[in-house]
Amino acid sequence: MKSIRVLASASLLVIAAACRSDLTVENLSNPDIERVFATPASIEATIAAGYQTVHNSTSNQALWPETQMLGLETYSSLNNFNMGVRVSIPRNPLSNAVGSPSFNTEFTNTQKAARLMVNALDAHARLVKAGGTLGTPAQDLRARAFGWFVAGADLGWGAMIYDSAAVVSTGMPSDSIPPLSGAQDVVKAAIVMFDSAYAYATNAAASGTGGFPLPAAWLGGNAYTATQFARLVRSYRARFRAGVARTAAQRNAVDWQKIADDTENGIQEDLLVSVGGSTGWSLGDMSQIYVDPGWGQMSMMYFGMADVSGAYKTFITTPVTQRNGFFLVITPDKRWPAGATRAAQQTASVQPTSVASKPYISNRSVADVAGDGWGVSYYDFYRYKYIRNAANQGLYPEFMKAENDLLAAEAYIHTGDFAKAAAKIDLTRVANGGLPALSGVITNGTQQVPGGASCVPQVPINGSVSCGTILEAMKYEKRVETAYSSFGRWWIDSRGWGDLIEGTAYEYPVPYQEMQSRQRPYYNLGGGFGSSAVKGTYGF
């Protein structure tokens, strides 16, 4: 028990001397790990709340809007949440000086949460070693599976966002300060944690009395069985193994066979969590992007690849400072509103009622908002507006099956199995987009997608546009299907594909607050400093 000695007055000093005893008072402001985890119930409650913390740490309105601008997943010239600063071309550096807009929230939250989870796992290990239990052997196994999963997710997200973070592990003293490790090493540690989570979940005894399925509250309303949970672990493992890459060279070098194995055995349905209201699960960016078009409209730089009318070609062949995104996208893709006129497309832009509603995209009926010509358009991504339409409560896209399937497709492209890659891409390309199938048509990595003059996607190449390859078809599908669905979705993928706008930061520096506490110099990244994108695939 931690204590402090209190000597309140001279008389107390005399009394203390006479009695030869110390007056001790508990220091309740100093962390006491043993008190926090004093009971089996407190240990399990900490582990149970862990993934809610992961979700809330990566879906709040801090860096998510910024990374949407860095990946041009959406466009806003507003300075709220630093959006206008991040979206500007040429790119600005991520200024990391005292007094600059802070990006400390995600760093602090993920690091603290990872530390809390390994402390909970240590407390549980001590409980079991002393002959105790959370209730049943299966309950103990379930808790360890979930705890390791949460710790891995916390470390993994830290590595996806920042260039460095501290790696925590079980058995370390509660007051120790781990050194900073590079993002690649942090993800390696996260993957080891996922390995442990998978091992516990797939132990047959974990599904015994008191074990799996998970209590629904642990996973935002999803009472996953051991099999479903193990699949989620594998999808997360694949997400981080690929996503930690900062450049095309790094992404090409990842172990794609392992990613293929994990994604083939990954999630089989969307993981949708109940957010808003009294759930305790953050609504995140969804609470603002539908306020009005000024908060987030669709730039045509990437989304415009759906157009088959020639308007996107004109847009791309115009110098970037002279581009005008106010043009109609005419496309066979059913995720866009149909119609040859704006009025027809507005009529086709119905309000969504669920994640499956189509079209995903709306040709807005309210006033257009001015901005950079390369950033503005007639269009808003309305797929998730059903949440805002229901008083900001509903089922939130925590991990989309499409992300898992299209990561599998990317793995098969890298390993040269184009038939399997085409089949994975067609799961959304045909079923959701109504576009011509790739299966049975595409047999190598250089063929153009079918569709002739009406092919989708139409990709910027050497100052013009051309029908994309199977790799570009995969990228187009992933952009449309996963847009707005998780933290930094486009930014994370685009840096590894080599598709970011020149000068865009690949990663965030360790926040100056953390560097000051470690008595080390802080630094900037991006926009002419270190870790910046070069002119890439599309010449942006």
Please give the Cα distance from 141 to 196 (Å, whole number): 11
3-state secondary structure of 434: coil
Q: Which residue has the tokens 């008083």?
A: 391
Residue 6: pLDDT over 70: no
Residue 290: pLDDT over 50: yes
What are the start and end residues of each CATH 1.25.40 domain in the chain? 35-272
Residue 16: pLDDT over 90: no
User: What pLDDT does residue 175 have?
Assistant: 83
Mean pLDDT of all residues in the chain? 92
443: tokens are 């047999």
Percent of the chain residues past pLDDT 70, beyond the cut:
94
Please give the Cα distance from 304 to 325 (Å, whole number): 9
Neighbours of 423 (CB within 10 A): 18
Q: Is the pTM of this model over 0.85?
A: yes
> Buried (b) or exposed (e) across 91-130, using 16+ Cβ within 10 A?
bbbbbbeeeeebbbebbebbbebbbbbbbbbbbbeebeee
Average pLDDT (478-498) is: 97
- Report yes or no: 434 and 333 within 8 Å, Cβ to Cβ: yes
What pLDDT, in 10s, does the model give residues 55-89? 999 987 789 999 999 999 999 999 899 999 999 99
Please give the Cα distance from 500 to 537 (Å, whole number): 8
**pLDDT tier at 283 (50, 70, 90 boundaries)?**
confident
Phi, psi of 95 (to 5 degrees): -70, 125
**pLDDT tier at 3 (50, 70, 90 boundaries)?**
very low
Average pLDDT (445-468) is: 96
Nearest Cα residue to 425 out of 338, 309, 466, 440:
440
Residue 31: pLDDT over 70: no
380: tokens are 């808003």
- 525: DSSP letter: B
What pLDDT, in 10s, does the model give residues 233-281? 999 999 999 999 999 999 999 999 999 999 999 999 999 999 999 999 9
Residue 11: pLDDT over 50: no
For the domain made up of 35-272, the CATH class stated in words is mainly alpha
Residue 12: pLDDT over 60: no
User: What pLDDT does residue 21 have?
Assistant: 40
Q: At CB < 8 A and 24+ separation, what contacts does 114-118 make?
A: 114/151, 114/154, 114/155, 114/158, 114/168, 115/168, 116/46, 116/50, 117/46, 117/47, 117/50, 117/147, 117/150, 117/151, 117/154, 118/151, 118/168, 118/169, 118/170, 118/172
User: What pLDDT does residue 32 have?
Assistant: 65
What pLDDT, in 10s, does the model give residues 319-337? 999 999 999 999 999 999 9
- Report yes or no: 212 and 248 within 8 Å, Cβ to Cβ: no
User: What pLDDT does residue 157 have?
Assistant: 98
User: What pLDDT does residue 123 have?
Assistant: 96
What pLDDT, in 10s, does the model give residues 372-421? 999 999 999 999 999 999 999 999 999 999 999 999 999 999 999 999 99
- Distance between alpha carbon 377 and the CA centroid of its chain, in Å? 25
Residue 200: pLDDT over 80: yes
What pLDDT, in 10s, does the model give residues 98-151? 988 889 999 999 999 999 999 999 999 999 999 999 999 999 999 999 999 999
**pLDDT tier at 7 (50, 70, 90 boundaries)?**
very low
Residue 92: pLDDT over 80: yes
What pLDDT, in 10s, does the model give residues 512-538? 999 999 999 999 999 988 899 999 999
Residue 505: pLDDT over 70: yes
Residue 370: pLDDT over 90: yes
Higher pLDDT, 80 or 441: 441
Residue 229: pLDDT over 60: yes
User: What pLDDT does residue 318 have?
Assistant: 97
388: tokens are 């805002």
